[in-house]
Amino acid sequence: MTVGAFVKVLGCLREAGVSSLLQAEALWELRYGPRCVGEFMHTGLVASRAAATQLVNTLERKGMVRREHSVTARNQVKVRLTEKGAELMERAEELSQEEVAA
């Protein structure tokens, strides 16, 4: 992604209430599908389970993600984009592609 595209994407996310690069990165990762809360630690996004939970709590309050509890593993919680979060990330993806095409 070019610097121009990065700036446009961050501007789009900031307008929607995403207030940190950490939140932006988590949403970007969730574009590919739901993730377990613990996966945010394994990808290096956060350093602890508490930080992962806090990140998900923040994005959930903003209406960007929702938690889904596993029916097979009671302690496993997946996080997925809400419709609002998915639409935002679609727009961010479009902005990143527009800059590349230009």
Domain extent for 19 = 3-101
Residue 17 has pLDDT above 80, yes or no: yes
CATH code at 10?
A: 1.10.10.10
Task: Write the pLDDT tens digit of every residue in 21-51.
Answer: 999 999 999 999 999 888 887 777 887 888 8
pLDDT tens-digit readout, 46-62:
878 888 889 999 999 99
Instruction: State the total domains in the chain.
Output: 1
Token representation of residue 85: 């979060």
The pTM assigned to this predicted structure is: 0.85
Mind giving me the DSSP string for 2-41?
-HHHHHHHHHHHHHTT--SHHHHHHHHHHTT--EETTHHH
